[in-house]
Protein backbone atom coordinates (compact mmCIF):
# COMPACT_ATOMS: atom_id res chain seq x y z
CA UNK A 1 0.00 0.00 0.00
CA UNK A 2 1.45 3.35 -0.98
CA UNK A 3 1.38 6.33 1.36
CA UNK A 4 -1.59 8.66 1.20
CA UNK A 5 -0.56 12.15 0.09
CA UNK A 6 -2.21 15.56 0.25
CA UNK A 7 -2.55 16.50 -3.41
CA UNK A 8 -3.76 19.79 -4.84
CA UNK A 9 -5.26 19.92 -8.33
CA UNK A 10 -5.69 23.43 -9.74
CA UNK A 11 -8.35 23.56 -12.44
CA UNK A 12 -9.88 20.55 -10.68
CA UNK A 13 -13.42 21.29 -11.89
CA UNK A 14 -12.31 21.15 -15.52
CA UNK A 15 -12.48 18.25 -17.94
CA UNK A 16 -9.01 16.82 -17.18
CA UNK A 17 -8.83 18.10 -13.60
CA UNK A 18 -12.04 16.38 -12.50
CA UNK A 19 -10.91 13.02 -13.92
CA UNK A 20 -7.55 13.48 -12.18
CA UNK A 21 -9.22 14.26 -8.81
CA UNK A 22 -11.37 11.14 -9.18
CA UNK A 23 -8.41 8.90 -9.98
CA UNK A 24 -6.29 10.27 -7.10
CA UNK A 25 -9.17 9.64 -4.66
CA UNK A 26 -9.42 6.06 -5.96
CA UNK A 27 -5.73 5.68 -5.12
CA UNK A 28 -6.44 6.70 -1.51
CA UNK A 29 -5.09 10.27 -1.51
CA UNK A 30 -6.41 13.39 0.19
CA UNK A 31 -7.44 15.65 -2.73
CA UNK A 32 -7.85 19.41 -2.71
CA UNK A 33 -9.58 20.75 -5.83
CA UNK A 34 -8.93 24.43 -6.59
CA UNK A 35 -10.89 26.19 -9.35
CA UNK A 36 -12.49 29.59 -10.02
CA UNK A 37 -15.05 27.86 -12.28
CA UNK A 38 -14.39 30.21 -15.22
CA UNK A 39 -14.54 27.26 -17.63
CA UNK A 40 -14.69 24.37 -15.17
CA UNK A 41 -18.02 23.47 -13.58
CA UNK A 42 -19.01 22.06 -10.18
CA UNK A 43 -21.16 19.56 -12.10
CA UNK A 44 -17.90 17.73 -12.99
CA UNK A 45 -17.06 17.13 -9.30
CA UNK A 46 -20.56 16.94 -7.80
CA UNK A 47 -20.22 13.19 -7.28
CA UNK A 48 -17.01 13.77 -5.28
CA UNK A 49 -18.26 16.49 -2.91
CA UNK A 50 -19.39 14.02 -0.20
CA UNK A 51 -16.16 12.00 -0.36
CA UNK A 52 -14.40 12.27 3.04
CA UNK A 53 -10.99 12.87 1.43
CA UNK A 54 -12.14 15.52 -1.06
CA UNK A 55 -12.24 19.28 -0.62
CA UNK A 56 -13.19 22.06 -3.05
CA UNK A 57 -11.92 25.64 -2.86
CA UNK A 58 -13.16 28.32 -5.25
CA UNK A 59 -10.03 30.32 -5.96
CA UNK A 60 -8.29 32.04 -8.89
CA UNK A 61 -4.65 30.89 -9.19
CA UNK A 62 -3.57 34.34 -10.36
CA UNK A 63 -3.74 35.16 -6.62
CA UNK A 64 -1.48 33.40 -4.10
CA UNK A 65 -2.77 30.50 -2.05
CA UNK A 66 -1.39 29.38 1.31
CA UNK A 67 -1.92 25.68 2.01
CA UNK A 68 0.05 22.63 3.13
CA UNK A 69 0.30 19.99 0.41
CA UNK A 70 2.70 17.25 -0.75
CA UNK A 71 2.04 17.51 -4.50
CA UNK A 72 0.53 20.02 -6.91
CA UNK A 73 -0.91 19.32 -10.34
CA UNK A 74 -1.16 22.74 -12.03
CA UNK A 75 -3.99 22.16 -14.51
CA UNK A 76 -5.63 25.60 -14.31
CA UNK A 77 -6.11 27.41 -17.63
CA UNK A 78 -8.88 27.70 -20.22
CA UNK A 79 -7.78 25.23 -22.91
CA UNK A 80 -10.12 25.65 -25.86
CA UNK A 81 -9.73 28.52 -28.37
CA UNK A 82 -13.27 29.84 -27.70
CA UNK A 83 -12.58 30.11 -23.98
CA UNK A 84 -8.99 31.26 -23.99
CA UNK A 85 -9.68 33.92 -26.65
CA UNK A 86 -12.70 35.24 -24.72
CA UNK A 87 -10.39 36.98 -22.22
CA UNK A 88 -6.86 36.61 -23.64
CA UNK A 89 -5.21 38.81 -20.99
CA UNK A 90 -6.68 36.65 -18.22
CA UNK A 91 -5.53 33.52 -20.10
CA UNK A 92 -1.92 34.74 -20.10
CA UNK A 93 -2.22 35.75 -16.44
CA UNK A 94 -3.56 32.31 -15.52
CA UNK A 95 -0.62 30.59 -17.21
CA UNK A 96 2.10 32.99 -16.01
CA UNK A 97 0.91 34.38 -12.64
CA UNK A 98 -0.70 31.02 -11.89
CA UNK A 99 2.62 29.25 -12.48
CA UNK A 100 4.51 31.80 -10.33
CA UNK A 101 2.01 31.41 -7.46
CA UNK A 102 1.94 27.62 -7.58
CA UNK A 103 5.74 27.39 -7.88
CA UNK A 104 6.05 29.75 -4.93
CA UNK A 105 3.74 27.53 -2.89
CA UNK A 106 5.65 24.39 -3.94
CA UNK A 107 8.93 26.05 -2.95
CA UNK A 108 7.57 27.08 0.46
CA UNK A 109 6.15 23.65 1.39
CA UNK A 110 8.76 21.66 -0.63
CA UNK A 111 6.07 19.99 -2.73
CA UNK A 112 6.55 18.21 -6.01
CA UNK A 113 4.75 20.11 -8.79
CA UNK A 114 3.56 19.14 -12.26
CA UNK A 115 2.75 21.62 -15.02
CA UNK A 116 0.05 20.70 -17.51
CA UNK A 117 1.65 22.16 -20.62
CA UNK A 118 0.41 21.62 -24.14
CA UNK A 119 1.28 20.52 -27.64
CA UNK A 120 0.47 24.13 -28.60
CA UNK A 121 4.02 25.04 -27.50
CA UNK A 122 5.04 23.51 -30.86
CA UNK A 123 2.80 25.95 -32.77
CA UNK A 124 2.31 25.09 -36.43
CA UNK A 125 5.17 22.58 -36.56
CA UNK A 126 7.79 22.10 -39.28
CA UNK A 127 8.80 18.78 -37.71
CA UNK A 128 6.47 15.77 -37.79
CA UNK A 129 5.78 14.01 -35.47
CA UNK A 130 6.81 16.44 -32.74
CA UNK A 131 9.54 15.27 -30.32
CA UNK A 132 10.21 17.09 -27.04
CA UNK A 133 13.50 18.40 -28.47
CA UNK A 134 11.63 20.49 -31.08
CA UNK A 135 11.44 24.18 -30.07
CA UNK A 136 8.31 24.98 -32.01
CA UNK A 137 7.10 27.58 -34.47
CA UNK A 138 4.74 29.92 -32.66
CA UNK A 139 3.31 33.28 -33.67
CA UNK A 140 3.92 35.51 -30.61
CA UNK A 141 1.30 38.13 -31.60
CA UNK A 142 -1.60 36.08 -33.02
CA UNK A 143 -5.03 35.36 -31.56
CA UNK A 144 -3.83 32.03 -30.12
CA UNK A 145 -0.67 33.52 -28.59
CA UNK A 146 -2.21 34.17 -25.16
CA UNK A 147 -2.45 30.40 -24.72
CA UNK A 148 0.62 29.23 -26.70
CA UNK A 149 3.04 31.79 -25.28
CA UNK A 150 1.46 31.69 -21.80
CA UNK A 151 2.16 27.95 -21.63
CA UNK A 152 5.66 28.40 -23.07
CA UNK A 153 6.42 31.02 -20.41
CA UNK A 154 5.07 28.69 -17.70
CA UNK A 155 7.53 26.00 -18.87
CA UNK A 156 10.33 28.59 -18.66
CA UNK A 157 9.34 29.42 -15.07
CA UNK A 158 9.21 25.76 -14.08
CA UNK A 159 12.70 25.10 -15.41
CA UNK A 160 14.09 28.26 -13.80
CA UNK A 161 12.62 27.27 -10.41
CA UNK A 162 14.20 23.85 -10.92
CA UNK A 163 17.64 25.30 -11.70
CA UNK A 164 17.53 28.17 -9.21
CA UNK A 165 15.70 26.55 -6.27
CA UNK A 166 16.14 22.80 -6.95
CA UNK A 167 12.38 22.46 -6.98
CA UNK A 168 10.99 19.01 -7.86
CA UNK A 169 9.21 19.76 -11.14
CA UNK A 170 7.45 17.77 -13.86
CA UNK A 171 6.33 19.16 -17.22
CA UNK A 172 3.79 17.28 -19.36
CA UNK A 173 2.97 18.42 -22.91
CA UNK A 174 -0.61 17.30 -23.42
CA UNK A 175 -1.90 16.60 -26.94
CA UNK A 176 -5.60 16.56 -27.95
CA UNK A 177 -7.56 14.70 -25.29
CA UNK A 178 -11.26 13.86 -25.30
CA UNK A 179 -13.82 12.00 -23.22
CA UNK A 180 -16.76 12.46 -20.85
CA UNK A 181 -17.03 15.89 -19.13
CA UNK A 182 -15.70 17.84 -22.09
CA UNK A 183 -17.49 21.18 -22.24
CA UNK A 184 -20.30 20.87 -24.83
CA UNK A 185 -19.69 24.41 -26.18
CA UNK A 186 -15.90 24.61 -26.06
CA UNK A 187 -15.50 24.58 -29.84
CA UNK A 188 -13.17 21.58 -29.76
CA UNK A 189 -13.47 19.24 -32.65
CA UNK A 190 -14.58 16.04 -30.82
CA UNK A 191 -17.25 17.69 -28.65
CA UNK A 192 -18.38 19.91 -31.57
CA UNK A 193 -18.84 17.00 -33.95
CA UNK A 194 -20.61 14.81 -31.38
CA UNK A 195 -23.07 17.51 -30.27
CA UNK A 196 -23.79 18.50 -33.89
CA UNK A 197 -24.27 14.85 -34.89
CA UNK A 198 -26.59 14.06 -31.96
CA UNK A 199 -28.73 17.09 -32.86
CA UNK A 200 -28.63 16.15 -36.58
CA UNK A 201 -27.17 19.60 -37.29
CA UNK A 202 -24.59 20.20 -40.05
CA UNK A 203 -21.07 19.17 -38.98
CA UNK A 204 -18.71 22.12 -39.45
CA UNK A 205 -15.31 21.27 -40.86
CA UNK A 206 -12.70 24.02 -41.24
CA UNK A 207 -10.72 24.14 -44.48
CA UNK A 208 -11.02 20.89 -46.43
CA UNK A 209 -10.72 18.76 -43.28
CA UNK A 210 -7.31 17.44 -44.31
CA UNK A 211 -5.54 18.83 -41.24
CA UNK A 212 -4.59 16.03 -38.84
CA UNK A 213 -5.04 15.56 -35.12
CA UNK A 214 -4.17 12.78 -32.68
CA UNK A 215 -6.86 12.00 -30.12
CA UNK A 216 -6.06 10.57 -26.69
CA UNK A 217 -8.83 9.21 -24.46
CA UNK A 218 -8.93 10.90 -21.06
CA UNK A 219 -8.30 7.74 -18.97
CA UNK A 220 -5.05 7.10 -20.84
CA UNK A 221 -3.91 10.67 -20.35
CA UNK A 222 -4.60 10.67 -16.59
CA UNK A 223 -2.51 7.50 -16.20
CA UNK A 224 0.31 9.30 -18.01
CA UNK A 225 0.13 12.36 -15.76
CA UNK A 226 0.15 10.28 -12.57
CA UNK A 227 2.97 8.13 -13.96
CA UNK A 228 5.04 11.24 -14.63
CA UNK A 229 4.35 12.70 -11.18
CA UNK A 230 5.44 9.42 -9.55
CA UNK A 231 8.56 8.99 -11.70
CA UNK A 232 12.09 9.59 -10.40
CA UNK A 233 13.22 13.13 -9.49
CA UNK A 234 15.53 13.13 -12.52
CA UNK A 235 12.57 12.66 -14.87
CA UNK A 236 11.44 16.27 -15.08
CA UNK A 237 10.36 16.41 -18.73
CA UNK A 238 9.04 17.93 -20.79
CA UNK A 239 7.24 14.73 -21.80
CA UNK A 240 4.73 14.41 -24.63
CA UNK A 241 1.50 12.70 -23.55
CA UNK A 242 -0.93 11.89 -26.33
CA UNK A 243 -2.04 9.22 -28.75
CA UNK A 244 0.23 8.92 -31.82
CA UNK A 245 -2.59 7.51 -33.98
CA UNK A 246 -3.18 10.29 -36.51
CA UNK A 247 -6.52 11.06 -38.20
CA UNK A 248 -7.69 13.77 -40.59
CA UNK A 249 -10.58 15.91 -39.38
CA UNK A 250 -12.72 14.44 -42.18
CA UNK A 251 -12.01 10.91 -40.94
CA UNK A 252 -13.15 11.97 -37.47
CA UNK A 253 -16.33 13.57 -38.86
CA UNK A 254 -17.23 10.38 -40.75
CA UNK A 255 -16.55 8.23 -37.67
CA UNK A 256 -18.79 10.39 -35.45
CA UNK A 257 -21.63 10.34 -38.02
CA UNK A 258 -21.33 6.55 -38.26
CA UNK A 259 -21.19 5.91 -34.49
CA UNK A 260 -24.11 8.23 -33.71
CA UNK A 261 -26.21 7.09 -36.68
CA UNK A 262 -26.69 10.78 -37.44
CA UNK A 263 -28.34 12.34 -40.48
CA UNK A 264 -25.89 15.28 -40.31
CA UNK A 265 -24.17 16.55 -43.43
CA UNK A 266 -20.70 18.06 -43.49
CA UNK A 267 -20.31 21.76 -44.29
CA UNK A 268 -17.01 23.58 -44.83
CA UNK A 269 -15.81 26.86 -43.29
CA UNK A 270 -12.57 28.86 -43.70
CA UNK A 271 -9.59 27.82 -41.56
CA UNK A 272 -9.06 29.93 -38.40
CA UNK A 273 -5.85 32.00 -38.07
CA UNK A 274 -2.74 30.00 -37.05
CA UNK A 275 -4.64 26.70 -37.01
CA UNK A 276 -1.96 23.97 -37.01
CA UNK A 277 -2.03 21.70 -40.06
CA UNK A 278 -0.62 18.63 -38.30
CA UNK A 279 -0.47 17.36 -34.77
CA UNK A 280 1.06 14.07 -33.75
CA UNK A 281 3.07 13.34 -30.61
CA UNK A 282 6.33 11.47 -30.62
CA UNK A 283 5.86 9.49 -27.38
CA UNK A 284 9.13 7.53 -27.44
CA UNK A 285 10.25 9.25 -24.21
CA UNK A 286 7.03 8.42 -22.31
CA UNK A 287 7.20 4.81 -23.53
CA UNK A 288 10.82 4.47 -22.40
CA UNK A 289 10.81 6.40 -19.11
CA UNK A 290 7.23 5.95 -17.88
CA UNK A 291 6.37 2.64 -19.62
CA UNK A 292 3.28 4.54 -20.76
CA UNK A 293 1.31 4.41 -23.95
CA UNK A 294 -2.38 4.84 -24.77
CA UNK A 295 -4.53 1.70 -24.81
CA UNK A 296 -8.00 3.05 -25.71
CA UNK A 297 -8.68 3.16 -29.46
CA UNK A 298 -10.61 5.99 -31.10
CA UNK A 299 -13.81 3.99 -31.71
CA UNK A 300 -13.99 2.77 -28.11
CA UNK A 301 -13.27 6.23 -26.69
CA UNK A 302 -15.77 7.94 -29.00
CA UNK A 303 -18.53 5.51 -27.96
CA UNK A 304 -18.01 6.41 -24.27
CA UNK A 305 -17.89 10.12 -25.09
CA UNK A 306 -21.03 9.94 -27.25
CA UNK A 307 -22.89 8.17 -24.40
CA UNK A 308 -21.91 11.03 -22.05
CA UNK A 309 -23.18 13.73 -24.44
CA UNK A 310 -26.41 11.79 -25.06
CA UNK A 311 -27.11 11.89 -21.30
CA UNK A 312 -26.16 15.56 -21.13
CA UNK A 313 -28.51 16.53 -23.96
CA UNK A 314 -31.32 14.44 -22.45
CA UNK A 315 -30.93 16.31 -19.13
CA UNK A 316 -31.03 19.66 -20.96
CA UNK A 317 -34.22 18.68 -22.78
CA UNK A 318 -36.11 17.57 -19.69
CA within 13 Å, CB half, 197: 25
- For residue 51, tell me if it sits in a domain: yes
- For residue 47, tell me if it sits in a domain: yes
179: left (phi over 0), alpha (psi -120 to 50) or beta: left
Q: What domain range includes position 141?
A: 6-181+216-243+280-295
- For residue 309, tell me if it sits in a domain: no
Catalytically annotated residue among 84, 122, 147, 178:
147
Number of domains observed in the structure of the chain: 1
Q: Say which CATH number the domain at 119 has.
A: 3.40.50.720
Beta-ladder partners of 266: 203
- For residue 162, tell me if it sits in a domain: yes
**71 and 106 in contact (C-beta within 8 Å)?**
no
Residue 135's φ and ψ, nearest 5 degrees, are -85, -10
- For residue 191, tell me if it sits in a domain: no
- For residue 91, tell me if it sits in a domain: yes
- For residue 250, tell me if it sits in a domain: no
User: Can you give the pLDDT of all 318 residues of the chain as single tens digits?
Assistant: 568 999 999 999 999 999 999 999 999 999 999 999 988 899 999 999 999 999 999 999 999 999 999 999 999 998 777 777 888 999 999 999 999 999 999 999 999 999 999 999 999 889 999 999 999 999 999 999 999 999 999 999 999 999 999 999 999 999 999 999 998 887 789 999 999 999 999 999 999 899 999 999 999 999 999 999 999 999 999 999 999 999 999 999 999 999 999 999 999 998 876 677 888 999 999 999 999 999 999 999 999 999 999 999 998 888
- For residue 201, tell me if it sits in a domain: no
- Residue 84 is a catalytic residue: no
Amino acid sequence: MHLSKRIMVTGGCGFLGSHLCERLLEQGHDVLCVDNCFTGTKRNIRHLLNHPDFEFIRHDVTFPLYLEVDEIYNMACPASPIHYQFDPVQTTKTSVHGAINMLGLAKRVRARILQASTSEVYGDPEVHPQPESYWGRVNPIGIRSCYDEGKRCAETLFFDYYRQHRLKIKVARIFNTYGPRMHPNDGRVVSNFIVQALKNEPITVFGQGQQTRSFCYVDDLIEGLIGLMNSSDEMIGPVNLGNPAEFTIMELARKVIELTGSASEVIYKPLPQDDPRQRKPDIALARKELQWQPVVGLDEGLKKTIAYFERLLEEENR
